[in-house]
Chain A
């Protein structure tokens, strides 16, 4: 690559890095120059994304580009991996969540997460699973019955399980289990919900229900979702960020902005190729 070409790419990246420019203090979450390492290997470089309050942001990109790693830095799960390291700032309501005076337990209570594989607690009933966050975090909320009904309805599962709340959670199908863990995440009333490919193992019907849930939830909370399904990003996300890692280089954000722009009028050739399914 000649210098001129390199410069052009670099400038494009810089422009795209600040594309979702929320007014100062408005973004629920924001990352500044977040880079991530595992041991000596740098897997993410200079990620700047703002997540405005009550929006859905989709993180897309081919496998191994660091999307899942990035989302785990947002609620301090990243640090549980022994060789993990990080630079930059992750702001939540304007406060760096990695500051020494911040209690990670408090962060994870307010920034919930749903994982790729449904992980209901096998020793608990359906009802027990929904309420487990309250017990585990020591949060006091009255009227448990209302919470169970409200969150299960929110997650689109209430009608299917209302007659068997005291059955074991393991009896549910995969799609139902995933909606159950979404209900469980909602019961502690998080401000932000991180979702790491929540529909990758689900059938289209369950996927549709979860997408409806996401749209509905975005009235009240901020959602950040990693997805491999580009139609899903178009359907649910207000904003989209495209991650890419090439030939052993660390992953970075190639382009980000309103979902309609990323899919309808991408500025970068690589984004155009990716959203049209030409690679990745």
Chain B
């Protein structure tokens, strides 16, 4: 037998099992107490004001609660970590407050769309069109199928035009770097200020009244693409600028041409951002109503041909129904708003999931 060195694992600290911990998350009892007090005391004061005073709620929140919470925050921070941390605490609490405030606004908006929109929802509402339906027809007959189709057609046409054009404009600015870059950038910026009704008017006067196009999905898609282009171009430019210069020089040093650098290295590296640019472009136009009123008009029938005749989209459907004196028509408008929101959400989720794929696996 060879001599084995025997030792007792219990006595050796390094060999006993350690558990992963996050000690930076631990708080002292004093810290917890002070935080609770800083939340509860202002809330109690404001709560009692709401109960026992006649001041309007908005005044209480702005003139009493807000300063009170800041003071409580400063006092809490000073008592725990000293005067230096007061500024930190105020910024953190203000940021949390602003987040809660915008969260409340957003949730109440979603809440009203969902609660009202859901009342109009049914299979018929989603899939049927509006033919033979008048504003006074009760819910359960007719729907937004034709408008959903119209929105998909019009937005699809505009994305097919504006996304490639926008990305190529961005590539011109970041990769080609030609002499016209400052002017291109200026015009893109100026275009992003074009009011949507002007885009509609432009297509109406130049292409529809001259007889080149009918009032149709294609005409509306052209108007939308004018609005979409600057958003896509500017966002794509920003994400392409984030691609490190080293990648470009690295590819050039392998004997690549500039076009291959742009298409094989730079664009794939910025893929997620370019998809975001396309999403933002779609989000920019999908709810626009004014250009549709001038180019696509409205149509209660289901239209599949993008060149032949007027077509309804969700914004025009909402626009026409919300102004009706019949409660059911107004509910239909809410239902269409909910559908529009769901379509955008689905679109965003799908593109996010697709763009999250990484090389390998």
Contacts and interface: CB of A to CB of B under 8 A. Distances in A.
A97 to B, nearest CB: 9
A85 B22 contact: yes
Contact of B24 (A14, A76, A88): A76
Interface string A98-109: 111101110000
A101 B7 CA distance: 38
B27 interface: yes
Contacts of B82: 103
Interface in B1-43: 2, 4-7, 12-15, 18-24, 26-28, 31
B20 to A, nearest CB: 3
B14 A87 contact: no
B361 interface: no
A5 to B, nearest CB: 10
A8 interface: yes
B14 A33 contact: yes
24 contacts: A4-B2, A7-B5, A7-B6, A8-B5, A14-B12, A17-B14, A33-B13, A33-B14, A35-B18, A37-B20, A46-B14, A48-B14, A85-B21, A86-B21, A86-B23, A87-B18, A87-B19, A87-B20, A88-B18, A98-B24, A100-B26, A103-B81, A105-B85, A138-B84
Nearest to A32: B13
Contacts of A85: 20-22
A208 interface: no
Interface of B: 2, 4-7, 12-15, 18-24, 26-28, 31, 81-82, 84-85
Contacts of B24: 76, 79, 98, 104
Contact of B22 (A35, A84, A88): A84
A3 interface: yes
Contacts of A104: 24
Interface of A: 3-4, 7-8, 10-11, 13-14, 17, 32-33, 35, 37, 42, 45-46, 48, 76, 79, 84-88, 98-101, 103-105, 138
Given A46-B14, A48-B14, A101-B28, A7 B23 contact: no
Contact of A10 (B2, B7, B22): B7
Nearest to B82: A103
The 8 closest A-B pairs by CB, nearest first: A85-B20, A46-B14, A98-B23, A87-B18, A79-B24, A100-B26, A37-B20, A100-B28
Contacts of A138: 84
A45 B12 CA distance: 13
Contacts of B5: 4, 7-8, 11
A119 to B, nearest CB: 16
A263 B7 CA distance: 29
Given A3-B4, A14-B12, A105-B84, 7 more contacts: A32-B13, A35-B18, A76-B24, A86-B21, A86-B23, A87-B18, A138-B84
Contacts of A79: 22, 24
B335 to A, nearest CB: 40
A44 to B, nearest CB: 11
Contacts of B20: 35, 37, 42, 85-87
A19 to B, nearest CB: 14
A109 B82 CA distance: 15
A86 B2 CA distance: 39
Given A4-B4, A11-B7, A46 B13 contact: yes
A38 to B, nearest CB: 9
A14 B18 contact: no
